[in-house]
Amino acid sequence: MTMARIRRTDGTDGVLPGRFDPADTDKWRTALTCIEPNKILVRGYPLDEIMGRLTFGETIYLLLMGEVPSPSIGSLMEAILVSFIDHGATPPSTLAARNTATTGAPLRACVAAGVLGFGRFHGGDIESCMQFLDAGLELVRGGVTYKDAAFTLLQKYFDSEEPIPGFGHRFHTRDPRAARLFQIALELEVEGGHIQMIRAVELTINELPDGRHLPVNIDGAIAAVCGDIGIPPAVANALFIISRVPGITAQALEERNRERPMRQIDPKDHLYDGAGQRRVPDKRR
Amino acid sequence: MTMARIRRTDGTDGVLPGRFDPADTDKWRTALTCIEPNKILVRGYPLDEIMGRLTFGETIYLLLMGEVPSPSIGSLMEAILVSFIDHGATPPSTLAARNTATTGAPLRACVAAGVLGFGRFHGGDIESCMQFLDAGLELVRGGVTYKDAAFTLLQKYFDSEEPIPGFGHRFHTRDPRAARLFQIALELEVEGGHIQMIRAVELTINELPDGRHLPVNIDGAIAAVCGDIGIPPAVANALFIISRVPGITAQALEERNRERPMRQIDPKDHLYDGAGQRRVPDKRR
Amino acid sequence: MTMARIRRTDGTDGVLPGRFDPADTDKWRTALTCIEPNKILVRGYPLDEIMGRLTFGETIYLLLMGEVPSPSIGSLMEAILVSFIDHGATPPSTLAARNTATTGAPLRACVAAGVLGFGRFHGGDIESCMQFLDAGLELVRGGVTYKDAAFTLLQKYFDSEEPIPGFGHRFHTRDPRAARLFQIALELEVEGGHIQMIRAVELTINELPDGRHLPVNIDGAIAAVCGDIGIPPAVANALFIISRVPGITAQALEERNRERPMRQIDPKDHLYDGAGQRRVPDKRR
Amino acid sequence: MTMARIRRTDGTDGVLPGRFDPADTDKWRTALTCIEPNKILVRGYPLDEIMGRLTFGETIYLLLMGEVPSPSIGSLMEAILVSFIDHGATPPSTLAARNTATTGAPLRACVAAGVLGFGRFHGGDIESCMQFLDAGLELVRGGVTYKDAAFTLLQKYFDSEEPIPGFGHRFHTRDPRAARLFQIALELEVEGGHIQMIRAVELTINELPDGRHLPVNIDGAIAAVCGDIGIPPAVANALFIISRVPGITAQALEERNRERPMRQIDPKDHLYDGAGQRRVPDKRR
């Protein structure tokens, strides 16, 4: 019996102070961006060459995943990032940003407050949905049909208060973003097992005698698509944060521009007075 | 003489408690995103129609400015957003994010800590450079040449400790991102007075007998380009925050994945061990 | 004419990369807390000796000001820190914390979001009020009476939208905390010029023909008291942040314990259901 | 089989939009602070009466726990809050705050960045240590001796990489704050089962043949003391955040006052140049 493997409670390991720790004399390493005088390489590519050649969405993929995405995966990245960009004035993260803005705080403080509100119940669903789908796919690999795997996955939610990861929405009975993301994945031919699995789960829920429809939400759709294109859960979670920052920023700017300082913000008590519904121009490139 | 216009120190106006304030009974308004059951309109466009038709960069422009950008301005947006995406492991904002990551904090806390580090001396230069250039353009509109306006603008910096907004860089003697952004603006034919003005200032600095070159930095280039395409300073500032979030996110993820918890992060003591220099594939769309 | 004094826009000075900068080889310094193995000295005092001998409030003063406070100033510190500890559920900083809590974010994220809401219009008044009072005291030192100095100070606010720093409150027509803080300062015999000055301003406002009472608020009272006991504006501002953190923490904890996740928080739509009014026990030590 | 209990993934329950939800029409409630015009009641006590009668530490207890602490528990609160107030310039949370300060960000942004660094490995130990001790106390209540309970608790850490909650420190082989906190608890006669339990664990570790001493750290001491005076884990965790905020604030202020902007902060490369070691004056009240 030895205590040699005991690690300190702060996560560092148990070398006593004063002892020589060779790890400390080594340089630490980064593989993201190389900075030299007058040169910036992002994952090996000169940043000034990336400018004008890759879109922001493609460069985000490059930075997070290490390689330039294929055209299909690049298009899917844009769609994923766009899908989450804003959801109006009522999400708690947006309200945290607006409540910060009304105190006269600088824009970056408002954005930070908003980002902190991507908590367990808000955006945190992508990672748990990926695990949920992976559990189903393991059953499928073991010889079970998607349908049966879905029924098995749902089993433990029948008499539980637990939400089904990736299903249901506060406002929407059918999430238009999820449907569109699946359609784009189909068109780009990147659909794989995760999308099949989540569809099997949705079908199974909707066939239950209870008769209630519980739609795939955008978290679920992103989880399934990310699973199929090989984006790991931690990166999928990062995409969620990145995609919503523009929305939070726009909401904080609007709060500063349109409202009086130190107001009491009732989320339910607002009206939309922006542009009426219009058609998106055709793709230009 | 009356005190009627005295406003309370919290910025609200001086109506005493208990008095009827009609403004409070009105609903407050937002023009960004309209949420109805199963429908999300961003600036009037159904979000599911935007997906697959506009890029993330174009949708950011739409959200912040209210309209879909022209193809040229859309391309410029992508270049601006890409130009700032990351600058290695040493910016203080990145170090704030890495120091937060090493404590085991969740990703969103690391991102928020990083965003808070976009302080006065870091990214705050875009807005002051836009004002600097606007002051020069007013002289030009009054009949002065760009060259003379530049010399007048620089006057007050000759014997001052003040930095010239948009010029100079900690690492680079020539900022490759700035040069590339000007080139793209030229190719897209969106170059205007702000770019001319900042170039006149650069030329004037470099002709000074002191012989030292002080290059336009990326803050200055973004300020000039945003000025020429009609993006107001507050929105240009927002673009800076949005563009660097992916970099901060990637750095925090790398800290979590590669380093031991609770380490002491010396910014100078690191090595780049990522991909070697390589060429960006040609534009694919 | 030389450019030698030009500083880079990031605030560092203009030594070109590659040049030797002796400042970089020096160690940086801190005068706050000395850490050696098994020893922690806060401003020179062993932390384990401080424990049990100084209160938290006295130790805060020690840490920020460098010396153990006198008993009178220690008591005043406690009163200042207590005065700001909470102001119910409606301040925007508190709402930012509650909106973050409702997303399931960890407690520290809620506290950070709340702290970010101490913006220009909320708590930022202490520093500007100290400058306002200092301007008046300079007039007094020049031979003017407090009354006349007050009238001169108020001059520029008569026809302006600007709030008078340290006066007026959203809810209260008489701020009970301000009155009590002045009383304690009087009892402890630490009253000085700043308190005299703010009282002269209050009197002058209340004698105006307009007939409206605009009370000193707690920001103003803290500004005056801090001025009289030699606490500089930046430290007074720090005291505000420190004093409100327990309130924000308690509000975030209550949100997590009592409310359902992802709720829409209307600040006006709440009731107090806690302990009824009761008397504070006599001082016990 | 029914889906009636399925909850939405955002944590709200599954009532479809458009249905009447009586909970929404009710007012929400708070038991912390009652605000009426010219009256502020904290847990029922007028805030202006608390001022001058309770210390900041006692008022923090009142706010979090609902009642004025007994004199003994009040003294212990002060000691707990003091014990954590600062730990020099090298904790990652402090470095996050200093890295934010060097960018020119406002004080509140620096404090928020610091608070975000109270992550899993830094301060997060209090809660897990309380659970660890509670597990031991349950064995004791079942008839086992403290010694045997300690040995059972330690069992699973012998061949594991897991740190023992509340034990070990990066710098100290004996944590002076922990020893002092136990001494104060003893003097105030509030020592109970949790302190006995943690001492039994410490003794057991130190008697192991390996011969290495792994001391109780301050997280462990606070966990044990809070357990014995009935403070629940979530509130103990809140105390940690509250107690370190003054330290982070002081460090950020010092960074702004003493150092040049945008510097590269190497945590290892600093010197203490403050007051030499001195004796704390005797208790003054």
pLDDT in tens, D184-210: 999 999 999 999 999 999 999 988 877
Contact assessment for residue C13 and residue C7, using Cβ atoms and an 8 Å cutoff: yes
Give yes or no for residue C17 having a pLDDT over 80. no
Structure confidence at residue D169 (pLDDT):
83
Nearest chain B CA: its distance from D135 CA (Å): 25
Nearest chain B CA: its distance from A275 CA (Å): 5
Taking an 8 Å cut-off on Cβ atoms, the answer to whether C158 and B9 are in contact is: no
What's the average model confidence in pLDDT over C77-88?
A: 97
Q: Which of A2, A5, A6, A8 to mutate against chain D (most D CBs within 10 Å)?
A: A6
pLDDT in tens, A92-127: 999 999 999 999 999 999 999 999 998 777 777 898
Contact assessment for residue A177 and residue B40, using Cβ atoms and an 8 Å cutoff: yes
Give yes or no for residue A17 having a pLDDT over 70. no
CB-CB: which of A113, A118, A177 is closest to B48?
A: A177
More confident residue, C2 or D230: D230
Confidence of residue D20 (pLDDT cuts 50, 70, 90): very low
Structure confidence at residue D2 (pLDDT):
28
> CA B69 to CA B50: how far, in whole Å?
13
Structure confidence at residue D13 (pLDDT):
47
Nearest to C188 by CA among C238, C247, C228, C234: C228
Taking an 8 Å cut-off on Cβ atoms, the answer to whether A68 and B243 are in contact is: no
Residues of D in contact with C66 (CB under 8 A): 274-275
3-state secondary structure of B41: strand
Taking an 8 Å cut-off on Cβ atoms, the answer to whether B10 and C122 are in contact is: yes
Residues of C in contact with D256 (CB under 8 A): 234
Give yes or no for residue B189 having a pLDDT over 80. yes
Taking an 8 Å cut-off on Cβ atoms, the answer to whether A100 and C113 are in contact is: yes
DSSP 8-state class, residue A281: P
* Chains with 3 or more CB pairs under 8 A to chain A: B, C, D
Taking an 8 Å cut-off on Cβ atoms, the answer to whether A3 and D169 are in contact is: no
Nearest chain C CA: its distance from B105 CA (Å): 9
Taking an 8 Å cut-off on Cβ atoms, the answer to whether B122 and D110 are in contact is: no
Residues of B in contact with C8 (CB under 8 A): 163, 167-170
Residues of D in contact with C107 (CB under 8 A): 234, 237-238, 241
Residues of C in contact with A162 (CB under 8 A): none
3-state secondary structure of D252: helix
Residues of C in contact with A125 (CB under 8 A): none
Structure confidence at residue D17 (pLDDT):
30
More confident residue, B172 or B58: B58
Taking an 8 Å cut-off on Cβ atoms, the answer to whether A112 and D112 are in contact is: yes
Both tokens of D120, joined, read 């899993």
CB-CB: which of B68, B82, B237 is closest to A50?
A: B82
Residues of A in contact with D122 (CB under 8 A): 10
Structure confidence at residue C14 (pLDDT):
39
CB-CB: which of C7, C161, C210 is closest to B161?
A: C7
Residues of B in contact with C116 (CB under 8 A): 116
Structure confidence at residue A11 (pLDDT):
53
Taking an 8 Å cut-off on Cβ atoms, the answer to whether B250 and A64 are in contact is: yes
What's the average model confidence in pLDDT over B50-74?
A: 97
Percent of chain A with pLDDT over 70: 89
Nearest chain D CA: its distance from C140 CA (Å): 30
Taking an 8 Å cut-off on Cβ atoms, the answer to whether D262 and C88 are in contact is: no
> CA D201 to CA D145: how far, in whole Å?
12
Taking an 8 Å cut-off on Cβ atoms, the answer to whether A119 and C100 are in contact is: yes
Contact assessment for residue B51 and residue A218, using Cβ atoms and an 8 Å cutoff: no
Q: Which residue of D has its CA nearest to C233?
A: D253
Taking an 8 Å cut-off on Cβ atoms, the answer to whether C260 and D35 are in contact is: no
pLDDT in tens, B211-261: 667 899 999 999 999 999 999 999 999 999 999 999 999 999 999 999 999
Comparing B196-200, C147-151, C281-285, D168-172, the range with the smallest average pLDDT is C281-285
pLDDT in tens, C186-222: 999 999 999 999 999 999 998 887 766 789 999 999 9
Q: Which residue of B has its CA nearest to D18?
A: B37
User: Nearest 5°: phi and psi at B250?
Assistant: -65, -40
Nearest chain A CA: its distance from B220 CA (Å): 16
Bridging pattern class, strands A270-272 and A45-46 = unpaired
CB-CB: which of C99, C261, C268 is closest to A99?
A: C99
Structure confidence at residue D208 (pLDDT):
81
What's the average model confidence in pLDDT over C103-125?
A: 89
Q: In what order do the strands lie in the sheet with B33-36?
A: B33-36, B39-42, B45-46
Give yes or no for residue A10 having a pLDDT over 60. no
Contact assessment for residue B160 and residue B150, using Cβ atoms and an 8 Å cutoff: no
pLDDT in tens, D65-77: 999 999 999 999 9
Taking an 8 Å cut-off on Cβ atoms, the answer to whether C10 and B166 are in contact is: no
Give yes or no for residue C19 having a pLDDT over 60. no
DSSP 8-state class, residue B35: E
Structure confidence at residue A9 (pLDDT):
54
Percent of chain B with pLDDT over 70: 89
CB-CB: which of A108, A243, A270 is closest to B30?
A: A270
Nearest chain D CA: its distance from A49 CA (Å): 28
pLDDT in tens, D27-57: 999 999 999 999 999 999 999 999 999 999 9
Confidence of residue B101 (pLDDT cuts 50, 70, 90): very high
Taking an 8 Å cut-off on Cβ atoms, the answer to whether B8 and C163 are in contact is: yes
* Chains with 3 or more CB pairs under 8 A to chain B: A, C, D
Mean pLDDT, chain C, whole residue set: 88
pLDDT in tens, D143-160: 999 999 999 999 988 777
More confident residue, B76 or B119: B76
Cβ count near C142 (within 10 Å): 8
What's the average model confidence in pLDDT over C223-229?
A: 97
Nearest chain A CA: its distance from B20 CA (Å): 15
CB-CB: which of D88, D262, D277 is closest to C44?
A: D277
pLDDT in tens, B107-127: 999 999 999 998 777 777 898
Taking an 8 Å cut-off on Cβ atoms, the answer to whether B285 and A285 are in contact is: yes
Both tokens of D229, joined, read 């005076």
pLDDT in tens, C130-173: 999 999 999 999 999 999 999 999 998 877 778 899 998 878 88
Nearest chain D CA: its distance from C96 CA (Å): 13
More confident residue, C103 or C161: C103
Distances from the Cα of A187 to the Cα of A146, A184, A229, B59, angstroms? 22, 5, 14, 21
Taking an 8 Å cut-off on Cβ atoms, the answer to whether B5 and C163 are in contact is: no
Taking an 8 Å cut-off on Cβ atoms, the answer to whether D104 and B122 are in contact is: yes
**Across the B/D interface, how many CB contacts are shorter than 8 Å?**
126
Structure confidence at residue C1 (pLDDT):
26
Cβ count near B121 (within 10 Å): 22
Structure confidence at residue A214 (pLDDT):
87
Nearest chain B CA: its distance from A185 CA (Å): 10
pLDDT in tens, C32-82: 999 999 999 999 999 999 999 999 999 999 999 999 999 999 999 999 999
Contact assessment for residue B12 and residue C168, using Cβ atoms and an 8 Å cutoff: no
> CA D27 to CA A217: how far, in whole Å?
30
Mean pLDDT, chain B, whole residue set: 88
What's the average model confidence in pLDDT over A52-81?
A: 97
pLDDT in tens, A223-279: 999 999 999 999 999 999 999 999 999 999 999 999 999 999 999 899 999 999 999
Nearest chain B CA: its distance from D242 CA (Å): 17
What's the average model confidence in pLDDT over B174-192?
A: 95
Taking an 8 Å cut-off on Cβ atoms, the answer to whether B56 and A179 are in contact is: no
CB-CB: which of C18, C105, C264 is closest to A267?
A: C264
Taking an 8 Å cut-off on Cβ atoms, the answer to whether D163 and A10 are in contact is: yes
Q: With 0-12 CB in 10 A as exposed, 13-18 as middle and 19+ as buried, what is A67?
A: exposed
Helices marked H in C34-161 — which ranges? 47-50, 56-65, 71-83, 92-101, 107-116, 125-141, 146-155
Structure confidence at residue C285 (pLDDT):
47
* Chains with 3 or more CB pairs under 8 A to chain C: A, B, D
What's the average model confidence in pLDDT over C213-239?
A: 94
Give yes or no for residue A80 having a pLDDT over 60. yes
pTM of the model: 0.90
Strand stretches in chain A, DSSP E: 28-30, 33-36, 39-42, 45-46, 270-272
Nearest chain C CA: its distance from B45 CA (Å): 26
Taking an 8 Å cut-off on Cβ atoms, the answer to whether C246 and D246 are in contact is: no
Cβ count near A175 (within 10 Å): 24
Structure confidence at residue A171 (pLDDT):
80
ipTM reported for the complex, 2 dp: 0.90
Taking an 8 Å cut-off on Cβ atoms, the answer to whether A262 and C121 are in contact is: yes
